[in-house]
Structure 1
Amino acid sequence: MSSEVWFTVLVLLVGVERLAELVVSKRNAAWSFERGGVETGLGHFPAMVVLHTGLLVGALAEVWLLRPEPPSVLAWSMLALVVASQALRWWCIATLGPRWNTRVIVVPGLAPVAAGPYRWLSHPNYVAVVVEGVALPLVGGAWFTAIVFTLLNAALLRVRIRVENQALAGLAA
């Protein structure tokens, strides 16, 4: 099999993982709303969906159209980072349990989580997103996609983290 086909399989697996996240997120949103959860940050969510979809589509398009040949050491090290970012993401999901969501929904009266990776970082899931956004395209040598996603994601995360911090501040009060 060609490296493009292997890369396509990897991107499709990440896409399936994203769909699993959406299933968990929908279930968790229902749990939160049943307990009086309040959603904020609706304005940036569509941009986030487009950007994350664009990461997958852009990486595939770049690899198939330009046929880059990344050095083996780069491809394998980036694959290791992709796997590590998925592990961190699912550690975050498991730690937050039904409170984890792709949207910003907080349930009044619940204390902020300070277990798992949240013992050390305020937003460990976004560390996973940043690492994956660089590493996934670079597995296939998609430099342009990695750079564009990283720059756009940095701007989006500035908004997202501000919205989340404001929502979470209401929990601590």
Structure 2
Amino acid sequence: MLVAAVAIERLAELVVAKRNTAWSMERGAVVRGQGHYPWMVALHTGLLAGCLIETFAADRPFIPALGWPMVALVLASQALRWWCITTLGPQWNTQVILVPGMPAVRSGPYRFSWLRHPNYVAVAVEGAALPLVHTAWITALVFTVLNAVLMVVRIRCENEALTLLEERPSR
């Protein structure tokens, strides 16, 4: 049921992202880094599928001493993710989209200079914790490694976009 709840949350994110994409495009936005985006979608879909497949195929148990703390981490990661989404407002998206003249957000979880990409902290925590609720350690490990590789590409893309955003004069 937890995996289903996370899947529904992901669908809600896509609805918000679609609305925010339309808002951004109406303001002359530019989409960057589209090459890695299908890999991100596949990885996140694979996480949800892997949680279910490994749990049932390998008969992974729910061990309360591990499972309940992992549930707490999944919930905390969701709270952080939605804090990021609400803080960024219409500038939040699942893709890297630059709206000319929009300043970089420096409030909410983005006010901490040492944590430039708090949403990816949420993704990393959730990606490790969700499978471990039912001791699906292979899924947790594979997701964590592949996500780390993908985040190198994604964060580089976002940092370049943020640099462009900061160089552009705001209205």
TM-score with structure 2 setting the length = 0.95
User: How many angstroms apart in 2 are the aligned matches of 1:98 and 1:80?
Assistant: 28
Is 1:55 paired with 2:47? yes
User: How many angstroms apart in 1 are the aligned matches of 2:77 and 2:51?
Assistant: 17
Deviation at 1:69, TM superposition (A): 2.0
Asked if structure 1 preserves the Cα contact closer than 8 Å seen for 2:63 and 2:134, the reply is no
Gaps of 5+ in 2: none
Q: Secondary structure at the match of 1:105?
A: strand
Q: Secondary structure at the match of 2:60?
A: coil
| Number of the residue aligned with 1:96 | 88
Give RMSD over aligned pairs.
Answer: 0.6
Q: Secondary structure at the match of 1:39?
A: strand
Question: Of 116, 121, 124, which aligns to 2:108?
Answer: 116
Q: Secondary structure at the match of 2:43?
A: helix
User: How many angstroms apart in 1 are the aligned matches of 2:60 and 2:79?
Assistant: 27
User: How many angstroms apart in 2 are the aligned matches of 1:114 and 1:97?
Assistant: 12
Q: Secondary structure at the match of 2:31?
A: strand
Is 1:154 paired with 2:145? no
Is 1:128 paired with 2:140? no
The amino acid that maps onto 1:56 is: L
Deviation at 1:70, TM superposition (A): 4.2
The amino acid that maps onto 2:82 is: W
Gaps of 5+ in 1: 1-8
User: How many angstroms apart in 2 are the aligned matches of 1:148 and 1:47?
Assistant: 14
| Number of the residue aligned with 2:134 | 140
Is 1:20 paired with 2:3? no
Identity of aligned residues (%): 64
The amino acid that maps onto 2:136 is: A
Q: Deviations over 1:86-118 (max 9, x none)?
A: 000000000000000000001111110000000
Is 1:163 paired with 2:134? no
Deviation at 1:71, TM superposition (A): 2.5
User: How many angstroms apart in 2 are the aligned matches of 1:155 and 1:96?
Assistant: 25
Deviation at 1:39, TM superposition (A): 0.4
Question: Of 64, 70, 78, which aligns to 1:72?
Answer: 64
> Number of aligned pairs?
165
| Number of the residue aligned with 1:5 | none
User: How many angstroms apart in 2 are the aligned matches of 1:109 and 1:27?
Assistant: 19
